[in-house]
Amino acid sequence: MVTGAFVEVPPAAQAAGGAADAPPAGARSRAPWRALWRRAVRLAPPYLFLAPALVLLVVWTYRPLAQTFYLSFFSWNLVPDVPMVPVGTANYERLLTTPDLADSVGLTFVVIVAMLPFTLVLPVVVALLTRRVRGRAAAAYRALIFAPMLVAPVAGAAVWQWLLDPSAGIVNTLLGTGTNWLNSVDTSLWAIIAITGWHVAGFAVLVVSAGLTGINPDYAAAAQVDGASRGQITRWVTLPLLSPTLAFLLLMTVLLSAQWTFPLIDTLTQGGPVGSTTTVYYLLWEYGFRSHDAGLAAAAGVLFFAGFMLVASLLARISDRLSRYDD
Amino acid sequence: MRKAVSRIRLQRLTRRFGSVTAVDAVSLDVADGEFLVLLGPSGCGKSTLLRMIAGLLAPTEGRVLLGDADITDVPPRRRDLAMVFQSYALYPHLSVARNIGFPLRARGWSRAAIREKVAEVAAALDLTELLDRRPRELSGGQRQRVALGRALVRDPGAFLMDEPLSNLDAALRAGTRAEISALHKRLGATVVYVTHDQVEAMTMATRIALLDKGRLEQVGTPAEVYDEPASVFVARFLGSPAMNLIDATVAATAAGLAARAREVELPLGIDAETPERPVVLGVRPEHLAIAGQGAEGGIRAVVEAVENLGSEEVAHCRAGEARVSVRGPRPLGLRDGDRVRLTARPEHLHLFDADSGRRLAWRPAPVTTPA
Ligand SMILES: Nc1ncnc2c1ncn2[C@@H]1O[C@H](COP(=O)(O)OP(=O)(O)OP(=O)(O)O)[C@@H](O)[C@H]1O
Ligand SMILES: [Mg+2]
């Protein structure tokens, strides 16, 4: 009688023979320094590519930043022969006790808020309305709307000064007024804001248009079939999906408004009249290069840097939360 | 409760993009409660046709009718159709509940009513646990069900679906196929369903409309289009492996009409005479039988490769200039290099015109007594 038993069929890898898995005997490790060298050569390229940018950043951004921080604890009038006198935190105390700082921060806040219509509201409206413009017409209209961005701020300022001239300016002629736009306390800041808005609105329109192009048209199509009206689609679908772009523009406006206005303030109003256009950057500039108080200017710079840093990180966190649904 | 008028009629619907005619004069009548599948290869105009029905794309010519109403110029939101997109197009910033409730919100339902209806639909689709999630936190199958839920939530006149299963893996696809079919039976709703997958078409459709290069090739039940393909295109498109197509000549022989080519002679089972004419002879791989070597006729072929499909085997052979595949239960008992003789029953032979590719049918001429 024949007897037997069932045995398990081994999995394929084992059946092929275990010996094949062992490393070949010849591949002994070479001298350790050579292996290390090879590793370094293999890993180096990405860092080498980054190096030029990093070097420039360190030389032109981080080193001056550190120097500013250092300088903010000294009294110095920018004359190379005059020694820097260490004063501890006196610069900061002075800064925080003058009303100038609070005034300029308030003005900067006004500038930022007043810039939002130009960098957010108007661009969204224009981009939504011109969405259907295609082909050559789109290229032409983009060029038109982007043109102000290409005009050098100082050149723009010269032209605007002429347009806003109290006696012969075209603005007063058209409005039938005799306002001295740039030299009266009530209007100077608004003139600066309007000119800056004219400068940057085109750029913002392009950013919003690009954001709109990035939204899958299927969402709007689905919403149409789902019964939503045009206004509902804009409010419920398009704008929420555009929010990362809008957050980016908001961040740009908050951080850069003071910078955008600076060349105009410098050429048109020099911070006046009676400090009505002295934003934080202009204040800083006045301390450093009018009063030649390098320590005070450095202290202001450090404070503004910290302030903007704080605001930026806050906004970045908000925009992060907004854009996290991206697929 | 459902509206009775969800019959969709297309009248010579045409859409051109510049010089490309994506959809070419398609006329189609989709009856109420029908599950019509638009089937065709990639780029044949299925999505374009569906988008025109939905109103997302204006036709260049032709009309769309829903019930008795001409809706050609009606905007999508007033058409009372629901659509499931190939990409699902779930609103990424809204939760599953808000996605499903979106059509109701657009119709101005109250929050409470929306919540109740969404809960009902979610329960039916097994989505209740997922209602608070965002689309990106869902698997492909779950997204597909949410898209379906968004279409179901408002009892539309008809459902339009654009390849809703193409993003799913094979197992999930089979399951969801059955689910959608069951849903269709339960609701009795009209569905126009786009796919390029013949298995989906054969298993789900009450009728299939085959499109090729924007033109309607054939409309019929799955059995009709499979058993009596109207053209070479349909014959080649349906079936796996595809139908064998051999350039042949119909000629009279002693045993009646036969289709002939090099190494091929298959009797057509018609005892008549007709002038010789070139045709394309079609026969499905599963309809070929392996016969003994001795006898005359049939297809004399040499086996070139044998494919194992698990339950069945497919032998790829060469007969003259033609390639012929045979499909049958495993094992077929064939090996590379074997010579075989293949036969087929006359009723399983299809003839197509050599030029137009249209199906040929035998019409006996009125009897004339020879002089
Ligand atoms: N907006 C468009 N502009 C130009 N041509 C288009 C446009 N949309 C579609 N087409 C063309 O129309 C034809 C049909 O496209 P359609 O998207 O309807 O194909 P399809 O059958 O859905 O294909 P698939 O199975 O790949 O989705 C294609 O040749 C395509 O290139
Ligand atoms: Mg498609």
For residue B284, pLDDT beyond 90:
yes
From B281, B204, A199, A308, select the one nearest A300 (Cα to Cα).
A308
Task: Map out the domains of chain A with their CATH numbers.
Answer: 25-71 (no CATH), 93-322 (1.10.3720.10)
Nearest atom, ligand 1, residue B211 CA: 21
Mean of pLDDT over chain B: 90
The answer to whether the CB atoms of B136 and A325 lie below 8 A apart is yes
In terms of phi and psi (left: phi > 0; alpha: psi -120 to 50; beta: otherwise), the region of A240 is alpha
H or E element: which one contains B281? strand B277-283
Query: What pLDDT is attached to residue B367?
Result: 66
**Residue % of chain A over a pLDDT of 90:** 20
Interface test with A, best of B48, B77, B88 (most A CBs within 10 A): B77
From A53, A242, A222, select the one nearest B89 (Cα to Cα).
A222
Query: What pLDDT is attached to residue B103?
Result: 94
Q: DSSP alpha helices (H): ranges in chain A? A: 12-15, 32-57, 63-71, 90-97, 99-116, 122-129, 135-150, 153-163, 170-175, 188-213, 217-225, 230-233, 239-264, 280-289, 294-323
**Mean pLDDT score, A38-56:** 90
> pLDDT grade, residue B303 (50/70/90)?
very high
**Mean pLDDT score, A288-311:** 88
B43 lines ligand 1 (CB under 6 A): yes
- Predicted-complex ipTM score: 0.82
B17 lines ligand 1 (CB under 6 A): yes
The pTM for the full model equals 0.80
- Burial label, B357 (beta-carbon count in 10 A; 0-12, 13-18, 19+): middle
CB A123 within 8 A of CB A207: yes
Query: What pLDDT is attached to residue A323?
Result: 66
Task: Report d(CA B283, CA B260) in Å as an integer.
Answer: 13
**For a substitution probing ligand 1, which of B17, B42, B56, B165 has the most ligand atoms within 8 Å of its CB?**
B17
Measure B98 CA to nearest chain A CA, in Å. Answer: 11
Task: Map out the domains of chain B with their CATH numbers.
Answer: 8-236 (3.40.50.300), 242-360 (2.40.50.140)
For residue A156, pLDDT beyond 90:
no
A239-264 vs A122-129: helix axis angle to the nearest 10? 130
Residue closest by Cα to atom 11 of ligand 1: B22
Query: What pLDDT is attached to residue A148?
Result: 85
Quote the ligand 1 centre to B143 CA distance (angstroms): 24
Torsion of CA A270, A272, A273, A276, to 10 degrees: 150
Mean of pLDDT over chain A: 83
CB B105 within 8 A of CB B66: no
pLDDT digit string, tens, across residues B55-77 = 999 999 999 999 888 999 999 99
**A contact set with B (CB within 8 A):** 216, 218-219, 221-229, 232, 236-237, 240-241, 243, 325-327
**Residue B276 burial (CB count, 10 A):** 10
**Mean pLDDT score, B81-105:** 92
> pLDDT grade, residue A18 (50/70/90)?
very low
For residue B29, pLDDT beyond 50:
yes
- Burial label, A265 (beta-carbon count in 10 A; 0-12, 13-18, 19+): buried
For residue A24, pLDDT beyond 70:
no
Measure A143 CA to nearest chain B CA, in Å. Answer: 27
Query: What pLDDT is attached to residue A324?
Result: 56
> pLDDT grade, residue B370 (50/70/90)?
low
Residues in A closer than 8 angstroms to B100, CB to CB, are none
Task: Report d(CA B22, CA B49) in Å as an integer.
Answer: 8
From B192, B166, B186, select the one nearest B177 (Cα to Cα).
B166
**Residue A35 burial (CB count, 10 A):** 11
**Mean pLDDT score, A288-297:** 84
> pLDDT grade, residue B22 (50/70/90)?
very high
Query: What pLDDT is attached to residue B208?
Result: 95
- Burial label, A160 (beta-carbon count in 10 A; 0-12, 13-18, 19+): buried
B41 lines ligand 1 (CB under 6 A): no
**Mean pLDDT score, B228-234:** 93
Return contacts of A137-145, CB within 8 angstroms, 24+ apart.
A142/A206, A142/A209, A145/A201, A145/A202, A145/A205, A145/A206
Task: Report d(CA B256, CA B273) in Å as an integer.
Answer: 7
